[in-house]
Chain A
Amino acid sequence: MNCQLIQDKMKSFLDDLLEESEYQEIRFHLEECQACAAYASSVGSLSYKVKELGQLPLPQDLAQTILFEAKRPKEASATVFTQNIITGKTREMPVFIFRWATLFLVLMIFLVSVFLFAGIASRKPTMNVLEHHPVLAPKAEEKNLIPTVQASYETGNLALDIQAIVDTAAFNATNQEILDQLQPLLSRTYEDAGSLLLLDGVDRLIKLARLDPDHVSLLQELKGILLQYQESHALNQKKVEGL
């Protein structure tokens, strides 16, 4: 392509309307030919002004800095020195060993945390009296109270547990029999302060107006037993401390 032809197509070139091969041909020509470059500049196209922004002077040492950076050994700072405490000798250790060790440590901490959390989550509350009791458990199952018991187990809500006991008692003809069964259980669970929570739950249930009078009297009896046990336990504790 000669200069005349180039200059004829200059407008189309600057408006980017040429085929790619022609565009690149003119571009290469403009890099070589001063006259055509001057003509392109004189046309006053915006595209050519953008190109001129890329023809300003470069920083003198840019290429040298890039070469210096490229040739500089990159792993020089990626080593650590370890010293043998007996011989006193130092040796180089690649930093990747420490990276892997850190990764391993983080992984181990994560796994231990997961196991610990799973262990805590699977612990059963001590006050779940209906679940394993030989007399109450079949009754509760018969009256379909297991979901209620399960709910109290999930949430740790003792009030639900007591509600289940009361329901079972209502189902049974002799409440005294159930109270007799409950007493040793409550005595056992008092040790881990469970009965204190149970007392609180009983109080809350008594306040519920929707309970039948029979239930209320049953709960009051239950509360009396708990208080009695609490007092006797406190007395025992004093005796132990006196000895």
Chain B
Amino acid sequence: MYPVLNLGPLAIHVPGLILLVGVWFGLWWVDRGAARTAIDRDWLSSTLLMALGGGLIAARIAYAIPAATAYLNDPLALIRPELNSFEPAWGLITAALVVLIRFQRRSLLTVDALAVVTPGVIILFIATALADLAAGSHYGLPTTLPWGIQLWEASRHPTQVYRIIGCIAALLLWERTAHEQTAAARLRLTIGTMAATIIISDGFLADSATFPGGIRISQVLAWVVLVLAWPTTTSGTAVRQADGTAETKPDSAI
């Protein structure tokens, strides 16, 4: 756990550095994917940078709103480079909205286009989990399991590592199915894997935002995403051939 790295007189905020590298790597990966499509790479880069900037602004405003009076008395505090005063959830929502609106304006709101952005999102999740590991944040419940990590006076579930493993699995699935499945199927598979990862890893968090009764908000949201990503199968009727083999045909075809 290295939240701060001291290099001579410099104190480097390691989680922030990891996030910065993660953003850069994610953008590079998305650009690499866009090169294989008809999407204008310059336009895509500017879209992602706008999403990044919009996300940062929204995250700062969302942090400031509950203490609006204090920020009105000192408006410059809104633009101070304080790493601690952001609401990341609102930043992510805004960044996603910026991407969706820009894609829609170019009539690019298609599965193929959204698929280009997907690896970048997975890499951002990995970077976030690595940053949490470096900071010792989002730590797990105490455990006696042999792979527990010693943190905060106890052997704990390495929840950050669970998330990293799940995200890497999603990224590998994404890459390995590139030539085998349609973009829609790959997108569903990846989103489903990410949702399952959050359901499992967050189940072992020691401290998280919950609904009344202790049900974790992140797990419920991930479960809803899992339901949406896993489509119901089309109904059909099996047709047995003379040679004994069976073929399923959709009802509409019969």
Judge: A and B partners, yes or no: no
Chain B interfacial positions (CB closer than 8 Å to A): none
Chain A interfacial positions (CB closer than 8 Å to B): none
